Structure 1
Amino acid sequence: MTSTAGPDRDHIVISGMAVEAPGGIDTLSSYWSALANSRELIGPFPRDRGWPIEELLSLGDREGWGQVGDAGGFLDRVAEFDPSFFGISQREALASDPQQRVGLRVAWRALENAGVNPGALAGEDAGCYIGASPMEYGPSASEINEHSGFRTVGYGQLGVAGRISHSLGLTGPSMCIDSACASSLTALHLAVSALRNGECDWAIAGAVCVMSSPMGFYEFAKNGALSSDGHCRAYSDDASGTLWGEGAVALLVEPEARARRLGHPVYGRVLASYTNHNGKGRPILVPRAHAQEKLVRRTVEMSGIDPADIGMIEGHGTATRAGDVAELTALQNTYGAAGGDPVLGSVKSNAGHAQAAAGMLGLGKLLLAGRHGEIPPTLYADNPTTKVDWSRSSLRLATKTQPWQPKDDIRYGAVSSFGAGGANAHAIIAIPAHEENDNF
């Protein structure tokens, strides 16, 4: 795989961004405020999605099942949508997965954030790469109902990227990526690669997760990997499992020369990205420290930077025992052994595990932290897991807000995401410390 960085190549930059996160967050400023002020954005199960709440909350009474708390990181406005604004009929919108609707909203706002008019892009050679996973929206397509005829493009991950490209009139590559919880950083990787290869002039990269069904709560309650207390205690000795959440982020990515020429803000340069797989051996759901370590080393090699320069790492941090230990081991063996002072955290402690959108929410956190020059705290990090030996490396958890010092006017950060199917993704970002804009 060819490097995504190098002195003889134009940097690919992130020049527009929009977010929707639990707790009613739909602006970059409110997202940063929640992170900087250590807000936990967890709330009760939504009561307007037809979920069997009583059955969910009683699963722990069944033999072989874990307890399910009335808690998760849920978006507030998934049912609010103006279809005519995006050129969609009311009936077609109703038959379309909410992930498509939320994806359209954040893509539009990401372009506006960059200073681009989303309504004047028809015919642009622009790509669209969106991470999303199926979420069981609506009745079966193999039965007769009022949604028949609209379900082909109504399924979530099938149509999110297509909806965005169609609504905006973009003519470049358009695809949804499903590598489970590694989907969003994989989408970024593919978008950057497409730009490097000349497949499009610019691209939207993003991810979305809206849980139309409580499927994930059932699965992880049965597997014993769901939080028993309604909190996602990433990297903590008190962690009892992950907690599901939702979210969406869209980015405008383009060559830096283009961004500068058009006056777009530069949130960060994508120095390198890489994806790999755990391979066979252990069960497919079990993470592999050796695969993650290989992933990090390869990405660092691609970036061309000294790994000791990495100041902030936004980790996966699912709060599962196997997942956190594998990740921490890989990070200790790489960044933690490089001679620097890397600080690790996970936005999942604030908002839960947003699955296909998890890595993109983490990337958004990293970019805003770099722009503000502060590393926000990770909740529950004051009691780090004792399953690893913290004294053997310089890696440490972000227990409080702390300054993030640049090196030669650049803040270097890294972000990871790992999928349940064995896929892993990692990216290294350079954030110019002198950039100023009012777009967040």
Structure 2
Amino acid sequence: MRLSTVKQALFALQQLRARSREPIAIVGLACRLPGKANDVESLWQLLAKGVDAISEVPPDRWDLNELYDPAVKPGKVITRHGGFLDDISSFDAHFFGISPREALAMDPQQRLLLEVTWEALENAAIPPDSLKATDTGVYAATGMPDYARRHFWSSDSRLIDAYSGTGTFSSVAAGRISYVLGLNGPAMVIDTACSSSLVAAHLACNALRRRECPLALVGAANLLVSPEPTIFYSQMKTMALDGRCKTFDDRADGYVRGEGCGVLVLKRLSDAEAAGDRIHALIVGSAVNQDGRSNGLTSPNGLAQQAVIRQALQNADREATEVGYVEAHGTGTPLGDPIEVEALKAVYGNNASTALGSIKTNVGHLEPAAGIAGLLKVILMLQRGEIPPHLHLQELNRRISLAGTGISIPTTLTPRPDLA
């Protein structure tokens, strides 16, 4: 074999390795979150001012007088609160080429994803029509099938029509976006519970690096339109009685459910730079694993959490000491918070200064959309060089110790220009 051939082969391998690790640019973003945070600027104002966006359950969702009981009882909810969007019934069906009859059968989570996807493309300055017949990918996540429950379990089966299935099956959420926009790339709905939207982003980044698509839309929506899931969580005793995620606090007694939607537009960095796109932030590495065997099916595994963080750092070719902020899962449960902090201490405990926080203290737990809500917070925080206040922290959980570490939990708006 000639030396020139060997050099060519080595160069090709280097190029392949570089492509497999190319940063992914976030070129567009949009959201609808509790507290009237219907765009990213409103979201930042909510976060920077330390707004608690939790409210009582609206009467159009379920009857609190009938269902609420602070004691755990069959068929009852132990909380009166949640993070709610103002209007989930309005939808411009004609704008998306959907008939009124079909729109009525659509899960409002599907409607919300369509609207916020369009807004994310507007934010990216990408005309939706320009994506027709391209291999643009769609990676979506949706919440509990509350609307399907109402639709199919109605006492009047005559309400079921030809649109009932496509309107309520979770698998259609991504396919409908592809259909409306005329996209030919991968389209899939991811359900890994609370991590769904971040796993969707992970898969989208991998697909972009493998050249499976030139652009990817990543979105998640969660709406609370029937009481049954909250009854279930009440039976599990995972809900906070006062309806607040008191993450890392000694009073932590569970989380509060929240609604919302977030969508990101992703491109390979080289493509974004070539197109002159505005780049909000970069995703340089991610990783996915599973808890495996733990103390229970839904119990966290600290060692698994450590492993996935270390793998993400390795995939990003970054050192733990380079991380100045961690947006925690932070559900505000007595068991989960200490386990998560111990995992973070194992990885980042020797850092000079790493801040910790969770958007759940502002808007609640958005379940499949929780990850993308946290990611939006981090993007806005990095752009402004400020860390928003972490709410509801009065006294650190007695099972958590940050002594001897550089980890802190800011409870006021904290300038961190080094993060920008």
TM-score (norm 2): 0.91
Larger of the two Rg values belongs to structure: 2
Q: Which ranges in structure 1 are unaligned for 5 or more consecutive residues?
A: 412-432, 434-440
- Note the alpha carbon deviations across 1:378-416, whole angstroms, 9 max, x for none: 10234221212211422211211112233xxxx4xxxxx
1:147-162 counterparts in 2 under 5 A?
147-155=160-168, 157-162=170-175
**1:214 corresponding residue in structure 2:** 227
Match of 1:393 in 2: 405
**CA contact under 8 A between 1:157 and 1:178: conserved in structure 2?**
no
- Offset at 1:281? 4.1
Per the TM alignment, residue 46 of structure 1 is displaced from its structure 2 partner at its CA by 1.9
**CA RMSD across the alignment:** 1.9
1:56 pairs with one of 67, 86, 92:
67
Separation in structure 2 between the aligned mates of residue 104 and residue 322 of structure 1, nearest angstrom = 37
Match of 1:372 in 2: 384
1:321-336 matches, cutoff 5 A: 321-336=334-349
- State the 1:68 CA deviation: 2.1
Hey, what's the Cα distance between the residues in 2 that align with 1:66 and 1:85? 40
Do residues 100 (structure 1) and 113 (structure 2) align?
Answer: no
Extract unaligned runs of 5+ from structure 2.
1-15
Please point out which of 356, 362, 366 is paired with 1:350.
362
Matched, 1:248 2:261: yes
Q: Secondary structure at the match of 1:181?
A: helix
Q: Which has the higher helix share?
A: 2
- Matched to 1:109, the amino acid is E
* Partner SS, residue 390 of structure 1: coil
| In 2: Cα distance, 1:6 partner to 1:336 partner | 31
User: Which whole-Å CA distance do the structure 2 matches of 1:214 and 1:141 have between them?
Assistant: 14
Superimposed CA distance per residue, residues 347-405 of structure 1 (whole angstroms, 9 cap, x where no aligned partner): 00000000000000000000000001101111023422121221142221121111223
Aligned partners of 2:346, 2:186: CA distance in 1, in Å?
Answer: 37
Matched, 1:258 2:271: yes
Match for residue 27 of structure 2 among 7, 12, 15 = 15
Q: Give the 5 Å matches for 1:26-65.
A: 26-49=38-61, 51-58=62-69, 60-61=70-71
1:115 to 113, 119, 125: 125
| Pairwise CA distance, 1:66 | 8.6
Query: Number of residues paired by the alignment?
Result: 401
Which residue of 2 is the match for residue 134 of structure 1?
144
1:163 aligns with 2:173: no
Whether the 8 Å CA contact 1:134–1:156 is kept in 2: the answer is: no
> In 1, Cα distance between the equivalents of 2:287 and 2:387?
24
Paired residue for 2:327?
A: 314
Q: In 1, Cα distance between the equivalents of 2:231 and 2:77?
A: 10
State the one-letter code of the partner of 1:269. Answer: L
Q: Does the residue aligned with 1:370 lie in a helix, a strand or coil?
A: helix
1:296 deviates by 0.6
Distance 2:182 2:71 in 1: 52
What are the Cα deviations for residues 109-151 of structure 1, in whole angstroms up to 9, with x where unaligned?
Answer: 0000011112332111100001223332132179732332112
Identity of aligned residues (%): 36
C-alpha offsets along residues 15-43 of structure 1, whole Å, 9 cap, x if unaligned? 10001001222111100000000001111
Q: 1:282 deviation in Å?
A: 2.3
TM-score normalized with structure 1 length: 0.87
User: Counterpart of 1:221 in structure 2: which amino acid?
Assistant: S
Deviation at 1:340, TM superposition (A): 3.2
Show the counterpart of 1:419: none
- Find the aligned partners of 2:242 and 2:135 in 1 and give their Cα distance: 48
